[in-house]
């Protein structure tokens, strides 16, 4: 099964542990807001928080490209503060898991 399919299925099921299983032991996330990084343990805590909060919604997910080395995806995320972002994610893969993620996000203004 592709990494995207595993990730997407875990997201659909709001299964933080399955999401964390998709992360390589040497995982690094680069925050688009600050350029700072998070390791696997820090990202795991964030994913657990996101998946346990019904106000965090990831929708309009699309896999733009995936092979054995990279996964590029796009989604829209709703956050607890009412904000929405269109997120483009680039994921470097290693051993069938996500090794490094970098995102770019554009705020989406409410239309009503």
Q: State the CATH number of the domain containing residue 51.
A: 3.10.450.50
Tens-digit pLDDT profile for residues 33-60? 888 999 999 999 999 999 999 999 999 9
Give residue-wise pLDDT tens across range 61-99: 999 999 999 999 999 999 999 999 999 999 999 999 999
Asked if residues 104 and 93 have their Cβ atoms less than 8 Å apart, the reply is: no
Q: How far apart are CA 35 and CA 27, in angstroms?
A: 15
Q: Which domain holds residue 76?
A: 3-108
Q: How many domains does the chain have?
A: 1
Phi, psi at residue 15, to the nearest 5°?
-100, 95
In contact, 91 and 64? CB cutoff 8 Å: no
pTM of the model: 0.91
Report the distance separating Cα 41 and Cα 32, nearest Å: 18
């Amino acid at each position: 099964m592709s990494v995207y399919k595993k990730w997407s299925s875990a997201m659909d099921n709001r299964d933080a542990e399955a999401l964390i299983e998709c992360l390589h032991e040497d995982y690094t996330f680069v925050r688009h807001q600050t350029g700072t990084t998070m390791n696997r343990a820090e990202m795991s805590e964030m994913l657990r928080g996101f998946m346990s909060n019904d106000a965090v919604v990831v929708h309009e997910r699309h896999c733009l490209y995936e092979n054995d080395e990279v996964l590029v995806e796009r989604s829209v995320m709703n956050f607890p503060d009412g904000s929405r972002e269109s997120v483009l994610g680039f994921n470097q893969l290693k051993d069938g898991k996500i090794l490094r993620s970098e995102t770019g996000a554009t705020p989406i203004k409410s239309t009503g």
